[in-house]
DNA sequence: CGGTTGACCAAGT
DNA sequence: GACTTGGCCAACC
């Protein structure tokens, strides 16, 4: 049973531990594709909010990017998990960045 | 089935 | 440092 591309993004995202973040690029690459945009698109169209920690996904440059509930909400949620955000960017980005295991 | 869209990325100006 | 261009890919209309 092949899950939809979106479903796979959610599954990967659920692997991200609390207090860590990942990037759209990392997810796409982990799936073996370059659909950076499709990943973000999946979240925007159907933010499986309570099941998937959509707020732990940021742009590859450390900027939060967008969020269906609003950027402020994203910042608040990250702060609640221990991730510091400054000027719309992740503080200690490399430290908080989660790498997917093979 | 073709064209548009988008929570992106990298490089150039 | 800010803006523009081209490229990439899946979902939607």
pLDDT tens for residues A15-74?
999 999 999 999 999 999 999 999 999 999 988 888 999 999 999 999 999 999 999 999
Q: Determine whether A3 is exposed, middle or buried from the number of CB atoms within 10 Å of its CB (0-12, 13-18, 19+).
A: exposed
Could you please state the CATH topology (level 3) that the domain comprising A5-96 is classified under. Arc Repressor Mutant, subunit A (1.10.10)
**Active-site entry in A16, A27, A28, A54:** A54
Is residue A9 flagged as an active site residue? no
Distance A65 CA to C3 C1' (A): 17
What residues does each domain of chain A span? 5-96
> What pLDDT, in 10s, does the model give residues A92-102?
999 999 999 87
pTM of the model: 0.94
Q: Name the nucleotide nearest A65; use CA and C1'.
A: B7
* Residue A2 or residue A95, greater confidence: A95
């Amino acid at each position: 049973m092949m899950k939809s591309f979106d479903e796979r993004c959610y599954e990967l995202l659920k692997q991200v531990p609390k207090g860590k973040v990942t990037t759209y690029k990392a997810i796409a690459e982990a799936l073996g594709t370059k659909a950076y945009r499709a990943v973000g698109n999946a979240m925007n169209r159907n933010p499986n909010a309570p099941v998937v920690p959509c707020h732990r996904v940021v742009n590859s440059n450390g900027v939060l990017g967008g969020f269906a509930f609003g950027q402020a909400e994203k910042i608040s949620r990250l702060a609640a998990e221990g991730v510091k955000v400054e000027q719309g960017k992740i503080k200690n980005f490399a430290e908080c960045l989660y790498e997917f295991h093979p």
